[in-house]
Structure 1
Amino acid sequence: MPVAFFFCVLAAAGQNMQISSYSELIEVREDTSFTRQINIFLKQTDIPVMYPIIYDSELEKVSGLTVSYKSGKRYKQEKSPVIAENVIDTDVVSSKKLKSIAIPPGTEAQICYAVSCPELMYFSNLQFFSYDNIDTLKYEVIVPNSFRMVHDIVCRDSLSYLVLDSIQSEQNMRWKIEVAPQKIQPDALTLLGIYKNMSVPLMRILVVPANYPKEGEQYLKDWYLGKLESTRGLSPEVKAKIDELTQGITDQRAIMDTLYNYIRSNFKYVAIEIGMGAFIPSDVNEVFTNKHGDCKDLSNLLSDALKYKGIKSTVAMASTHDNIADCNFPSIGSANHIICVAYIDDQMILLDPTDPLHVPGKSIQAIQGRSIFIFNPDGGFFYDTGIPPAADNLLNYEIDLTADSEHKAMNGVFNARYGGISGNFLKAVMLNQNEDKRRSIGEDYYEDVFGNQRISDLKIQPKGENGVEISGNLAVNGKILTDNQNLFLFVDFLPPLLENEPRDKLTPGTYLGNTLDKKVKLRIKLGDPVESFSPIEKTFTKDDISVTYSVSSLSESEVECKYEFQLGYILVNKENIARTNEILKYFKKLTNDPILLKLKN
C-alpha cells in the first residue's frame, strides 16, 4: 500500500468524529441488485473533519450525494460542498475509491447519499462497530418475498444494546435493526473491508431466492460454481504441459503431487482484488500463462488440472485464523481464503497451492480447526478441518553440556528435531534464503530460545517428510554458582514451553500455531562430583495442557534435567486462558529456582 495513501485512509478512520445518528436503508431488488440509502448526522466539532466514503468502483455506484449544514432548527443544503476523490490502488485492493467530504468546524452537518450494486452476493454483512462515536446505528433491510435473508451475528455478546425486529407484508419482509456499535481503534485495512486479527460484532448475511432451502448452502454452491464455470476449460497448450508433467505416471496420488508441486513452485502469489475478482478467480488459462495468481486463482487452476487427469476435484472457501470469524456461515463475507479439494480412493485431500510448506494429506496450518465450505457439485457442505493431536507435532530437544573446572561456563551441543508442522514457523522465515542467511537467522533465533546464550556452527537439514533438524554448539555462562559445599545450578536457559510467544501472560485470541508434544532433555557433566539424590519430579496437568518436569542423577558427576510439554489446542480463548497462563507461570518458577547439588566430601 503506498505510504501516502495509507496515512490518508488511516487519518480518515482516526478522526474520532462525533455522530449523533447513522442509518442505512438497504433494499433488495427482484433483479438481484440492491441499493443503500445512507443518512449521517454529524455533531459540531472544534476542528475540520473529512468524512470518508469508500466504495468499489467496479461494483458500486455512488449517487445523490448531498451535504447540509444546520441553520437554526433546520438543515440547509450546501450548493458547493468540498469533496475530494482518490483512487485506492494498493497491494491489497485495486478497485476502491475514496470520497472525502470536508466538514468545517463549528458546524452540525447532514450527509446523504445512495450506493447501488448489481451483485446481490456482495451484500454479505452489516457492521456493528465503528471508528467514531456513534450514538445510534440503524439499519433497515427490505427483502421482497421472492427472497429470504439468512443471517447470524459474530461477537454478539460484546454489544451493550441490540434490537432486531422483522415485519412481514404481502410484498416483502422488512428488517429493522438498532444497535449501540462497539467503538474500535482506527485501522486502514478494516476501513477497506479487510478484517484481520479482530474480534468485533458483525452481522453476516446471505439473501437467498425463496425457491432454495432456507439454510442457504445450496444457493451459495450453485452461485459460486456458476461463476467458476466461465473461468474453467483448459486450452490445448495447458493440457499439453500437464501431459508432459505427468508423462509415465499412472498413480493418481503421484499425479496429484506432481501438479500440486509444479503450481506451488512455478507460480507467484499475486493478490487480485478488483470488484468481484476479490471472490471469483481469473480464467485458468490466463493464470497459467501469467504464472501468477492468488489463492482462488491457483486453487481453481489446480482443481481444473486434476479434473483433466481424471481426479475428482473442486474448491472450498475457508477462513484463516487471522480472519474476523470462522467460515461456518454460507456467505462470501465469512471467508478470506480458497483451497483445492481432491478425492482419491474415496479419501478427501485438502490442498493449498499458496502454502509452500503444506504436505498433501496433512493439516493446512492456516485453517486447522476451522470450518470450510466445499463447493461439491453434488451439494455444498461445511467441513470441520479438525486439529491434529499433539503427538503429530513432535519437537525433541537433546542438549549435552560440560561444565568447566571453575564453574563459570558450560559448553556443548544441542539438537532439535521438528516433526509435523511444529517447525513451520521457522521454515517459513528461512524459506528462499541462502545458506549463510539461514544460519544467521537460526543462530539469532536459538540464542533467544536459550535465553541469550551463545550459538555457533548451526546446521539445518530436512528430516523425514516434513520435518527439520537443527544442531549446533551451545555456550552457557553464569548458570552455576558454588559456596564450596554446594553447587547451585540454574536451568532457566532451557527452551521455553512456547518458543514463538515471548509473553509470560497471554490474552484471549492468541494464536499458538499448532498443537505440540515437546520433549526437552538436558544432560550436564559437572566439574566436581556431587552426592546422589532422589529424583525430583513435578507435574502439572489440566485438561488438554500438561507439563512433566524431572531432575535426576545419572552419576556422581552428571545430572539430567528434562521436561515434556503437551498442548492440545491452538487458540487461547476464555475457556483455556486461565490454565494456559497458570502453566506458563508454573514452568517459569520451576526453571527459575536453582537445583541444589551437594558437593561430595
Structure 2
Amino acid sequence: MKKILFFAGALMMFPLCTIAQKSPVYELYKQKYPDAHAVRLLEERKIDISLEDNEILITQDIFEEDLYLDKAATYGSKRSINYSSFFDIESVEASSLLYENGKYNELEVKDFVEKDEMDQSFYDDSKSINFIYPSLQPGAKSKLKYRERIKNPRFLNSFYFADFKPIVKSKVTISVDKNISLKFKEFNTEGVNINFTEKEKRGKRIYTWEANDIEEYDLDSGAPNFRNTFPHIIPIITEYKSGNDNVKLLDNVSDLYGWYYSLVKDVNTEEADEELKKIVNILTQNKKTNLEKVKAIYYWVQENIKYIAFEYALGGFIPREANDVFNKKYGDCKDNSSILFKMLDIAGLKGNLTWIGTRSIPYKYDEVPTPAVDNHMILTYLEGDNAYFLDATGRYIPIDMPSSFIQGKEALISINEKDFVIKEVPVIDAKRNSIIDSTVIKIEDKIIKGKGKFRLSGYPKIDFYNALEIEKSEKGLKDVYTKELRKGSNKFLVDEFKEINKYDYDKDFIVEYTYNIDDYVNSLEDETFINLNLNRRISGLKSKKDRKNDREYRYKLNEKCKIILEIPDSMVAAYVPENFSTSNDFFSCSIKYTQEENRIVYEMDIDQNFILLTLDQQKELNKLVKKVEKNFKEVIILKDKK
C-alpha cells in the first residue's frame, strides 16, 4: 500500500458548516436510540480461504458504515486500522457522507499516515494506518472499506456481533476451499438472534452468519473483559489437503503445542555466559534443597531483569537467548522465562516453558486450540505433585504464588518435544492475602491518639510494595501511609512510622505507626460517645443497583481490624454493643466486642472469598454489606465516674 504523508488538517476534525437538514435515516435512528452517540448501520466481513500451491491464502474484505447522532461525531473523526507482520493491509478506502439538499454527498479521505504501535505484551510489532473523517457532524455518515491479508492461517480473526454502539446489521461470510477443514466455536450467542446458513458454490463451502438490530453493549466498571460478554465466533482451520496428504493445523491442543514447541526448541542452545554461570553458582551455593535454589534464582530475575515489551513478527512467540537477556538486563515475558529456564539449567534443574492466558481471555485450550487462547508466557517448576508458576515480569511475587492475573487459568506446560501437561493455576486463598491492622487508642479531649501495627501478606503486600517504590521521600511515604491506613475520618494523620521487612518476598510487611484523629469523640453532659468502627472500606464492595455485568476482583482477601480502647481512669463503660456476624457461601463479616477491665477490645474479621461475582451474587452481597453498615452505627458509651 502506498504511503501518504500526513496532512495536518486540524480543521478537518470540525464541521465546515451547519446543516439544518436531517436525513430520514437519522430521524429514524435518533428516535430509536435517543441515548446513543452513533449507530453502526452495517458491519460486514467477507473472508476467502483458498488453497494455492499447497499453501493457504486468506483475505478479508471489511466494510463499516456508521451514522452519527449527536455532537460527539467530531470525536469519532479520528480512526485507525491496526495490523502487524501477521496481517497486511492491502487497500483502504474511507469517506464521510454529509446530508445536503435531500441527499448524501461523499467526501473521500485523502490523507493517511502509518505509525508503529507498541502497547501489547505477548506479540507486539503492531502498526496502524491513521486518518480523519472530514466534517463529521450530527446526521453525517462514515464509510470504511479495507482488505486485509492474513499471512499465517493460525491467526484467523474472531468476529463479534456486538459493539459499544447499536448495530443495525452485522454479517460475516466465510468462503473456504473444499480441501480445507474448518470448525467454529461460538461464545455468548445464547439469546442472540443470529441467522446461520451453509451452502456450496463453485467448489467452495460458504458459511454466513447474520444478526440484525443488536442493542449496544455497556460494560460496568470492574466488569470482566468484553470477550466474556460480547457474542462472537472463532473460526479455526483444523487441517488441509496437500497433495495426497492431510496436514494438521489446529484441530486440537497437540497441534497448537507442536507449533509452539517448534518456535522454542532451538532457543538457548548456545553455551551460557560465564558471568551468568558465576551468578547462578553464588545464588545456589548455600541452598540445601532444589526449591531453595529455584527460589533464589527466581527472585534474582525479578529484581534484576526489567520487564519491557517490544516484539517483532514471530519474535512475539520466540524467546530471546538467555545470554542476550542477561547482557541487556531487560526482556518481555518470554525473555524472562528464557533466562529463568537457562539459569535453572545451569543449576542442574529443569524448568518448563509455559503458555498461559491472562484472565482477560476466557477460553480453555480444548475449546480454542489457537493462539487466541493465550497471551503470556511464564516458567513452571514441577516438583512431585507441586507446580510452581514463575512469572518474573512482576516484582515481589513469592515462589508459591502465581501473578494475580493468571489465577484460575489453564497453563500449557512443555515437557519435551511431544509431551505437555495442562494444569490449572490455583486461586490463592483469602487467608493468604491478608490485611491485619491492630491498634491501641486513647481519648484525649475529643482527639483519638493511637499506636498501631499494620501487617500485609500476599497480593496486598505486593500492591503496597509497588506503591512504595514510587515514593522515596519521608513526606511522600507519610502521605502514602496516611492514605492507606486512614480510619475514622479524613482528619486521620500518621505521626510516625517504622517499616519492617520492607520489600521482603517471603515475610509479612509490617508498619508500626502512631496517629491521631482530631474531633472524633462526642460528649454530652457526663457521657462520651465513640464509634470503634474506624475502618469502613467494606462499603466499597457494594454494587450499583443498575449494574448490568458480573464484577471481577483481582484476588480474594481477608481483612482483620483490632482496636483496643483504653478507658480513661475517670470513666466507666456504660454501654458496649452486642456482637454481630453475617455470612453466606462467599462472604463473611463478624464484629466482636470484649470488655477486659479498663479496656474494650473491638475485632472485625472480613472474608472476601471471591474473585468474580454474578449479578445475583452482587445483589446478595449488597444485602450483607448493608447489614454491616447498619451495625457501623453502634457506639460505645463511656460515663464519668461519680
- Normalising to structure 1: TM-score of the pair? 0.82
1:96 equivalent in structure 2: 127
2:254 equivalent in structure 1: 218
1:327 CA drift (Å) = 5.3
Amino acid across the alignment from 1:178: E
8 Å contact from structure 1 (residues 316, 374) kept in 2 = yes
2:297 equivalent in structure 1: 259
Instruction: Find the aligned partners of 1:437 and 1:279 in 2 and give their Cα distance.
Output: 44
Instruction: Find the aligned partners of 2:260 and 2:507 in 1 and give their Cα distance.
Output: 34
Amino acid across the alignment from 1:330: P
Residue 399 and residue 107 in structure 1: after superposition, are their counterparts in 2 closer, same or farther (change >3 A)?
Answer: closer
1:481 CA drift (Å) = 2.3
Amino acid across the alignment from 1:228: V
Residue 310 and residue 237 in structure 1: after superposition, are their counterparts in 2 closer, same or farther (change >3 A)?
Answer: closer
Which stretch shows the higher mean deviation, 364-373 or 408-417? 364-373
SS in 2 for 1:129: coil
8 Å contact from structure 1 (residues 370, 385) kept in 2 = yes
Residue 182 and residue 145 in structure 1: after superposition, are their counterparts in 2 closer, same or farther (change >3 A)?
Answer: farther
1:39 CA drift (Å) = 3.2
1:165 CA drift (Å) = 4.1
Residue 421 and residue 162 in structure 1: after superposition, are their counterparts in 2 closer, same or farther (change >3 A)?
Answer: same
8 Å contact from structure 1 (residues 415, 471) kept in 2 = yes
1:457 CA drift (Å) = 0.6
Instruction: Find the aligned partners of 1:43 and 1:511 in 2 and give their Cα distance.
Output: 33
| Structure 1 position 238 matched with structure 2 position 252 | no
Matching of residues 103-502 of structure 1 within 5 Å: 111-130=144-163, 133-156=166-189, 160-167=192-199, 173-180=205-212, 183=216, 199-209=229-239, 212=248, 216-230=252-266, 232-238=267-273, 241-246=276-281, 249=285, 251-321=289-359, 323-325=360-362, 329-377=368-416, 378-404=418-444, 406=445, 408-431=446-469, 433-434=471-472, 436=474, 439-452=477-490, 453-462=492-501, 465-494=506-535, 496-497=537-538, 501=540
| Structure 1 position 568 matched with structure 2 position 636 | no
Instruction: Find the aligned partners of 1:101 and 1:477 in 2 and give their Cα distance.
Output: 56
Q: CA offsets per residue over residues 1-28 of structure 1, 9 Å max, x none?
A: xxx99xx9xx99xx96554322111123
8 Å contact from structure 2 (residues 447, 519) kept in 1 = yes
Amino acid across the alignment from 1:238: D
| Structure 1 position 62 matched with structure 2 position 62 | no
8 Å contact from structure 2 (residues 237, 251) kept in 1 = no
1:57 CA drift (Å) = 4.4
SS in 2 for 1:387: coil
2:571 equivalent in structure 1: 529
1:401 CA drift (Å) = 0.7
Instruction: Find the aligned partners of 2:129 and 2:277 in 1 and give their Cα distance.
Output: 43
Residue 451 and residue 78 in structure 1: after superposition, are their counterparts in 2 closer, same or farther (change >3 A)?
Answer: closer
Amino acid across the alignment from 1:564: D
SS in 1 for 2:595: strand
Matching of residues 1-20 of structure 1 within 5 Å: 18-20=39-41
Residue 203 and residue 317 in structure 1: after superposition, are their counterparts in 2 closer, same or farther (change >3 A)?
Answer: farther
Amino acid across the alignment from 2:239: P
Amino acid across the alignment from 2:48: E
8 Å contact from structure 2 (residues 118, 126) kept in 1 = no
8 Å contact from structure 1 (residues 199, 324) kept in 2 = no
1:414 CA drift (Å) = 1.0
SS in 1 for 2:534: coil
Amino acid across the alignment from 2:81: I
1:192 equivalent in structure 2: none
Residue 97 and residue 238 in structure 1: after superposition, are their counterparts in 2 closer, same or farther (change >3 A)?
Answer: same
Instruction: Find the aligned partners of 1:469 and 1:589 in 2 and give their Cα distance.
Output: 31
| Structure 1 position 543 matched with structure 2 position 585 | yes
1:295 CA drift (Å) = 1.2
8 Å contact from structure 2 (residues 500, 509) kept in 1 = yes
Amino acid across the alignment from 2:579: E
Amino acid across the alignment from 2:629: K
Instruction: Find the aligned partners of 2:82 and 2:164 in 1 and give their Cα distance.
Output: 17
SS in 2 for 1:428: helix
Which stretch shows the higher mean deviation, 573-582 or 350-359? 573-582
| Structure 1 position 39 matched with structure 2 position 83 | no
Specify every segment of 5 or more residues in structure 1 that has no aligned partner in the other structure, as ranges. 187-194
1:317 CA drift (Å) = 2.8
1:191 equivalent in structure 2: none
1:190 equivalent in structure 2: none
1:515 CA drift (Å) = 1.9
SS in 1 for 2:630: helix
Residue 447 and residue 347 in structure 1: after superposition, are their counterparts in 2 closer, same or farther (change >3 A)?
Answer: closer
Which stretch shows the higher mean deviation, 463-472 or 501-510? 501-510
Q: CA offsets per residue over residues 427-464 of structure 1, 9 Å max, x none?
A: 22113643626632432323534532121211222278
Which stretch shows the higher mean deviation, 278-287 or 344-353? 278-287
Amino acid across the alignment from 2:169: T
8 Å contact from structure 1 (residues 303, 342) kept in 2 = no
Amino acid across the alignment from 1:63: E
Instruction: Find the aligned partners of 2:126 and 2:237 in 1 and give their Cα distance.
Output: 24
8 Å contact from structure 2 (residues 575, 637) kept in 1 = no
Q: CA offsets per residue over residues 541-586 of structure 1, 9 Å max, x none?
A: 111211111223222x322221111121123332421232223222
8 Å contact from structure 1 (residues 531, 600) kept in 2 = no
Amino acid across the alignment from 2:172: Y
Instruction: Find the aligned partners of 1:435 and 1:43 in 2 and give their Cα distance.
Output: 53
1:82 equivalent in structure 2: 110
| Structure 1 position 590 matched with structure 2 position 617 | no
Residue 334 and residue 103 in structure 1: after superposition, are their counterparts in 2 closer, same or farther (change >3 A)?
Answer: farther
Residue 18 and residue 55 in structure 1: after superposition, are their counterparts in 2 closer, same or farther (change >3 A)?
Answer: same
Residue 58 and residue 171 in structure 1: after superposition, are their counterparts in 2 closer, same or farther (change >3 A)?
Answer: same
1:353 CA drift (Å) = 0.5
| Structure 1 position 515 matched with structure 2 position 543 | no
1:296 CA drift (Å) = 2.1
SS in 1 for 2:613: coil
Amino acid across the alignment from 2:427: I
1:468 CA drift (Å) = 0.7
Instruction: Find the aligned partners of 1:147 and 1:239 in 2 and give their Cα distance.
Output: 50
Instruction: Find the aligned partners of 2:472 and 2:604 in 1 and give their Cα distance.
Output: 34
1:189 equivalent in structure 2: none
1:222 CA drift (Å) = 0.9
SS in 1 for 2:607: strand
1:362 CA drift (Å) = 2.3
8 Å contact from structure 1 (residues 545, 567) kept in 2 = yes
Instruction: Find the aligned partners of 1:560 and 1:445 in 2 and give their Cα distance.
Output: 24
RMSD: 4.1
8 Å contact from structure 2 (residues 453, 512) kept in 1 = yes
1:63 CA drift (Å) = 2.5
Residue 233 and residue 538 in structure 1: after superposition, are their counterparts in 2 closer, same or farther (change >3 A)?
Answer: same
* Count of residues paired in the alignment: 575
1:166 CA drift (Å) = 4.2
8 Å contact from structure 2 (residues 532, 563) kept in 1 = no
Instruction: Find the aligned partners of 2:111 and 2:442 in 1 and give their Cα distance.
Output: 73
